[in-house]
Structure 1
Amino acid sequence: MTHRFFIDPNLITPPTVHIIGDTARQIKTVLRMQPGDTIIVLDNSGLERQVQLTDIDKNSVQGQIIAEQMNTAEPALHLTLYQGTLKGSKFEWVLQKGTEIGISCFVPTICQRSVIKDATALAKKASRWQQIIQEAAEQSGRGKLPTLAPACALNDALEHAQTANRIILPWEEAANNPLKQILANFDDSHLALFIGPEGGFSADEVQRARRQNAEIVSLGPRILRAETAALAASTVIFYEFETYALSVE
C-alpha cells in the first residue's frame, strides 16, 4: 500500500515537493523510507500526486511529482455530523470511524445530558481531534479532510444546520418512522445528522429540533450507544444515497 500524506499546499511547487516537520520525521524514522520510494501527497483540494522521494534527512524530505489525478473516494453527499459530546475516547472513535465512512464535517454539540459541557475544555482537545481526523483520512483514501467545527450548544447547532437540505435526528421513541423509510428516493446533496450524548436527547430537545425542521427517526428496535448510533446512521445514509444515485444514472 502506498502511504498517503496531507501536507501544506505551499510545500508543493510542481514538479517538486518539500515535506517538513512531523510528516518528514514519520517518513524517515517510522516508515524508514528510502530515495526512490513513492508516496501520495494531498493538498486537501481533492487532487492527489504520486511523488518519488529523492532526498531524505531527519527533518526534511524532497520528492519529484511523477503523476497526479483527482481523488475518486470522496462521497457526493455532504454529511455533517452534530455529535453530542461524549466522555473518554468515545468521541475520538466517532471522529476516526466517521472520517473513514465519509463524513464531511463534525460539530461537537453540547446537549442537556452531555457529561462534558465546557466549550473551553473541549477547544483544548481540537488539535488532537484534528490529528485523528487527518490520520483516518490518509488511511482510508480520502481526498479531502473533514472539517472540525468548534463545539456549540444544541440550539446553535440547530441554527447552523438550517443550511442543509434535510436534518435527521434519530430518537429511540420514534419507532413509527424508520430511517430507511425517509431516505427512499432522495437526492439531497447536504444532510445534517444529529446524534445525542450518553443518555440521548431529552424530549424537550427533540421537540426543539422538530420545530427547526428536523425529521425524527428510528434506528430500529434496539437501543444503541451514542457512538454506535453515529456510525450506524451514517452508514445507512451513505448506502441509501449511493444506491439511489446508481439507480438514476
Structure 2
Amino acid sequence: MPHRYFTKELADGRAALTGSDAHHLADVMRAKLGEEVVLCGPDGLEYIGTVTRLASDRVEFTVTDGAPSKAEPDVQVTLFAAYPKQGKLEEVIRHCVELGIHEVVPFFSRYCIAAPKKEDAKCERYNRIAAEASKQAGRAMLPAVRMPLPDFNAVCDRMKDYDLVLFFYEGGGVPLREVLKPGCARKIAIITGSEGGFSTEEAAAAKAAGAVTVGLGPRILRCETAPLTALTAVMLLTGNLE
C-alpha cells in the first residue's frame, strides 16, 4: 500500500511535501524517483502522486485527478466533549478520528474536574495526535481539534451550526434509533459529559438551544467511553459502518 501524506501545496497537477514529511519520505522511507504515494489535499480528496524531485526538505510530485475517499463518512460529526482529567482526551481524540470524526471541540462544564492549563500547547499536541490517527486509519482529511470552550453556554451558542445536535445525558432520553437513519442530517453534533456529568441546568439549556436529549442505555459509561460509544452508534445508524 502506498504511503499516505497530507499537503496544502497541491494544484494544477502538481504537489509538494516539505518539512518533516519530506524528510520522512526522502530520508527515512528512502523513496525513489517515480515512486507513488497517496496525497490528500485540503479538499478532502485522494490523489496518487508520482515523485519527480527528492530532497530532505522538499519532495515534488505530479498528481492524478482527485478522487473521493471511501474512508470518509457521508456525515460530518463534531464531538463536543466535556474536558476529562489525566490525559484521557488524547485517547478520545485518537479513537474518534479512527471512527470518522470531523472535528473535536473540548469544553469546560460545571462538573468538570479538569481546569484550563497550557491549552495552546495541549491543542498543538492534540492536533498532532489527530493527524497521526488519520494517517493510520487511511483517511483523506485531517480532523481538527479546537481550543476548548470556556463553559456550556458557549456550546449552546454553537448548536445553531448543525442540522442535528445530540445531547447524551445520563438521565436518559429519546432512543437513538428513533432519531438517526441514513440521510437524516449532513452535519451532526454530539455532546458528552465529564466525570461529573451534566447539571440539570445544563441539560435544560441544551434542550432550549435545540438539542435532542438521548441516552446510551441503562449502564453508566465512563467519560472516555461515552464519546466513542456515541460516535460508533451515530456512524452505524447513518450507514457509515457498512
Tell me the TM-score normalized by structure 2: 0.88
> Match for residue 7 of structure 2?
7
Amino acid aligned to 2:68: M
Match among 20, 23, 42 for residue 22 of structure 1:
20
Pair 1:239-2:236 in alignment: yes
1:49-68 pair list within 5 angstroms: 49-66=47-64, 68=66
Superposed, which structure 2 residues align to 1:1-249 within 5 Å? 1-9=1-9, 12-66=10-64, 68-118=66-116, 121-152=118-149, 153-174=151-172, 177-183=174-180, 187-242=184-239
Paired with 2:183 and 2:35, the residues of 1 have a C-alpha distance of 44
Q: Secondary structure at the match of 2:239?
A: helix
- Superposed CA deviations along residues 60-87 of structure 1, whole A, max 9, x for unmatched, are 2233325642323322212111011122
Deviation for aligned residue 1:6: 0.8
Deviation at 1:159, TM superposition (A): 1.1
In structure 2, runs of 5+ residues without a counterpart are none
Counterpart CA distance in 2 for 1:79 and 1:101 is 10
Q: Determine what percentage of the aligned residue pairs are the same residue.
A: 28
Q: Structure 1: how far apart are the matches of 2:7 and 2:131?
A: 10
User: Residue 13 of structure 2 contacts residue 65 of structure 2 at CA under 8 Å; is this kept in 1?
Assistant: no
Q: 1:131: Cα distance to partner?
A: 1.4
TM score, norm. by length of structure 1? 0.86
Secondary structure at the counterpart of residue 190 of structure 2: strand
Letter in 2 for 1:181: E
3-state SS, counterpart of residue 63 of structure 2: strand
Preserved CA contact (<8 Å) 1:105 1:148:
yes
For the residues of structure 2 that align with 1:239 and 1:62, how far apart are their CA atoms?
A: 39
Deviations 1:82-103 (A, max 9, x none): 0111223311111111112111
Matches of 1:191 and 1:64, distance apart in 2: 36
Cα distance in 2, alignment partners of residues 225 and 68 from structure 1: 41
- Which letter maps to 1:242? G
Report the AA paired with residue 216 of structure 1.
T
**How far off its partner does 1:146 sit?**
1.9
How far apart are residue 121 of structure 1 and its match?
Answer: 2.4
- In 2: Cα distance, 1:238 partner to 1:13 partner: 32
SS in 1 for 2:61: strand
Unpaired stretches in structure 1, ≥5 consecutive residues: none
Q: Match for 1:162: what amino acid? A: K
Q: How many residues align?
A: 240
